Amino acid sequence: MAQPDFLVAVDLVILTVDADVLKVLCVRRGVAPYKGRLALPGGFVRPSEDLADAAERELGEETGLSDLGGHLEQLATYGDPKRDPRGRVLSVAHLALVPDPPPATAGSDAADADWFAVEELLGSRRRLAFDHHRILTDGVARARAKLEYSPLAAAFCRSEFTIGELRQVYEAVWGAELDPRNFHRKVTKTPGFVEATGRTTTRQGGRPARLFVAGGAEVLYPPMQAPA
């Protein structure tokens, strides 16, 4: 029997931490449907392109980054028959974590891209096009969960970072304050989480802080505990 054809797109939830606030990159749609509405950046998958390659390409186009120091993983696939009024479009959503906020609109494609506070976007259900509110919700939930049992928070930091900077990542993503002393103990005692470089910096003010790089661990045992 004849099978229906689908269009397949890749949409990106690109998260960063800027000024202690979790932000996501959005573009303003210039064409219908949802013209003028904010949307997650994305695009169609090319004929002989793998999904991961398509996501990496889109990430590069939107941020100008070549994913160096960041993190990119598949999030989930959204296929409600009515999610796109133009037809049967499948969206394979990806989650990207990038350090610093790279200057928005650095890429050529999306002339009108900018960073938005996640908390604000999630507050009003109507600000994002398509089912992107749900995709963003799922992406943020994934990021929050992954900080617990993986050393992924380092993906939000530049290659060398202080324990304090890493703690601010957790605080921004989880929206909770953590005790600096207990956090310091936990991070430095968990094997493979971070490795000291020997260098120090004073960019945070106060006493010079040691600089660390991400360790080799893939998972954290025992996990970081999000506050109850």
Q: Of 28, 29, 51, 64, which one interacts with a copy of itself (CB under 8 A)?
A: 51
Segment contacting a copy of itself (CB under 8 A): 21-29, 72-80, 152-160, 166-174?
Answer: 72-80
CB of 147 to DNA, least distance (A): 14
CA of residue 144 relative to chain centroid, distance: 10
Residues 29, 37 contacting (CB under 8 angstroms): yes
Alpha carbon distance 24, 16 (integer Å): 6
CB of 102 to a copy of itself, least distance (A): 27
Token reading at 44? 């169609």
Looking at the Cβ atoms of 173 and 209, the one nearer to a copy of itself is 173
Q: Of 59, 153, 169, 209, which one interacts with DNA (CB under 7 A)?
A: 209
Q: Which residues pair with 111 in a beta bridge?
A: none
Q: Which of 223, 100, 98, 193 is nearest to 155 (CA)?
A: 98
Looking at the Cβ atoms of 31 and 228, the one nearer to a copy of itself is 228
Q: Which residues pair with 161 in a beta bridge?
A: 212
Q: Is 170 in the site for DNA (CB under 7 A)?
A: no
Residues 18, 101 contacting (CB under 8 angstroms): yes
Q: Of 18, 50, 177, 218, which one interacts with a copy of itself (CB under 8 A)?
A: 50
Residues 44, 9 contacting (CB under 8 angstroms): yes
Binding stretches for DNA (CB under 7 A): 162-165, 179-182, 184-186, 188-189, 200, 202, 204-210, 222, 225, 227
